[in-house]
Structure 1
Amino acid sequence: MGRDIRRQWKVLERWCPMVFLFAGTLLVGYATFNGIHAFTGIEYESAENVFGPGGFALGFLGLLGLYPALRDRSPKLARVGAICAVLGAVAFSVFVVANLGEIAGLISPDPPAWAVVFLAMAAIGMISGYLTFAVAVVRSDVHSRMLGLLLLVPLAIFATMLTTSRVGFFPQELAFAISSGQALAYLAIGYILRTGRTRTEREIPSNDVIVS
């Protein structure tokens, strides 16, 4: 049982870069729809409500892919980050399913009272999840420090969105800028992970034989 779980973690770790890149691709679509809305007035709300949460849900799955390499060097931070990432993944997955159900006419467009629970879970995931993983990456030497800094970008943009929404200032142009920033951040994270190597990979001795 334990071996199967470790194998599943390894699979998730191996696919982590591609998951982030795919999440970024969905968020590019999300930003595109926001841009169309901002500059033409044509709204594709249904598409926005699927592409955005879908990209964020995949982002949390990619975040979980960082856990195996970090759990030995920063176990507490990695564990807390993983829990927060699961909360965020569940919340945004629920949003995707609910929005698809609304498109299909199976769910009322009016959010139920319990929706606030998933909003809180999403906020915990975006802020605490990315923060703890960013700190864990910076404190360890498993991944590059640049990755740790990039992991701070999604939570910083999310915090900006929350702040501007709370003060009642959230024009569509700002929504386009924020979603574009998120898309670029996720694509950059995926690129860094795809082109970089972990410490474990760097420590694998070469099999090349030097012939004098």
Structure 2
Amino acid sequence: MVRATFARWGWIERWGPSLLLVGGGLMLGHAMLSAVRAFTELATPPDVFVASGHLVALAGLLGLYPVLADRTPTVARAAGGTLVAGFAGWLVMTVTQLLVFAGVATSMSAVLPEPVFVFALASTILAYGLFGVGVLRMGSQSTGVALLVLAPGGMLTSLIVLSAAGVAGALSGVAIGGGLAVSMLALGYTLRTVEGRHDRTTTVGDATSG
């Protein structure tokens, strides 16, 4: 019954893995740009990769929503709400960063107040966490996929902890950016290569069972 209700979501289920791959690619661009800034004195353009990478990856994560709504509706509602909130925050930052890149604005921090960044990060961490919990509740065979879903939230949490402790630096930025890229790419690749994508209820488990 619920599954039939979300039949019209088939397009996001089909495109979800590809969006995760694109998001991971954008995050890889962010990691590479961070590495250039950390290890060289070369002039670099504004980083348009990080906000857009999170934005696209969250859109890809939405591809798991229909099956979660079918199996764990309460968790799915909470996960979907936090995902939409995080998406809105990264959308605002993406648009702002493009304005910076175009020379219309000087910097994101000059345009957006700090609570916007905190809101986007917190919502994104919760979204990955709740989606990961939802996937875990689908069965023991889904553990591998759930860990890939949880990984970006964990890395963002570590970034916040390091920043709060005053020890976040260029190297940690490169490491976390690279980790985010790898986890998003791995999740997108795993979901994309699983057979029977039209029944995500089965395929999420199959992804870890070979």
Paired position in structure 1 for 2:29 = 29
Q: Which stretches in structure 2 are left out of the alignment for 5+ residues?
A: 203-210
How far apart are 1:164 and its partner, in Å?
0.7
Matched ranges for 1:20-169 at <5 A = 20-46=20-46, 48=47, 50-109=48-107, 111=109, 115-141=113-139, 144-169=142-167
Q: Which stretches in structure 1 are left out of the alignment for 5+ residues?
A: 204-212
Q: 1:45 to 1:161 in 2, by over 3 A?
A: farther
How far apart are 1:105 and its partner, in Å?
2.9
Quick check: 114-123 or 53-62, which moved more? 114-123
How far apart are 1:115 and its partner, in Å?
2.8
RMSD, aligned CA: 2.4
Contact 1:30-1:51 at 8 Å conserved across structures: yes
Contact 1:38-1:172 at 8 Å conserved across structures: yes
Paired position in structure 2 for 1:182 = 180
Contact 1:143-1:199 at 8 Å conserved across structures: no
How far apart are 1:171 and its partner, in Å?
1.6
How far apart are 1:199 and its partner, in Å?
8.6
SS at structure 2 position matched to 1:140: coil
Cα offsets for 1:179-201 (capped at 9, x unmatched): 00000000000011012245936
SS at structure 2 position matched to 1:122: helix
Cα offsets for 1:50-93 (capped at 9, x unmatched): 10111100111011111011101100111111111111111111
Cα offsets for 1:139-165 (capped at 9, x unmatched): 014983211011111011101100111
Contact 1:134-1:148 at 8 Å conserved across structures: yes
Paired position in structure 2 for 1:210 = none
Contact 2:97-2:108 at 8 Å conserved across structures: no
Identity score, percent: 31
- 1:200 pairs with 2:199: yes
Number of paired residues?
197
Paired position in structure 2 for 1:208 = none
Distance between the aligned counterparts of 1:43 and 1:171, measured in 2? 18
Paired position in structure 2 for 1:206 = none
How far apart are 1:166 and its partner, in Å?
0.9
Contact 1:71-1:79 at 8 Å conserved across structures: yes
Cα offsets for 1:81-129 (capped at 9, x unmatched): 1111111111111111101112223234363686334223312322110
Paired letter, 2:149? L
Distance between the aligned counterparts of 1:202 and 1:98, measured in 2? 38
Q: 1:81 to 1:115 in 2, by over 3 A?
A: same
How far apart are 1:19 and its partner, in Å?
0.4
Larger Rg: 1
Paired letter, 2:35? G
Contact 1:22-1:55 at 8 Å conserved across structures: yes
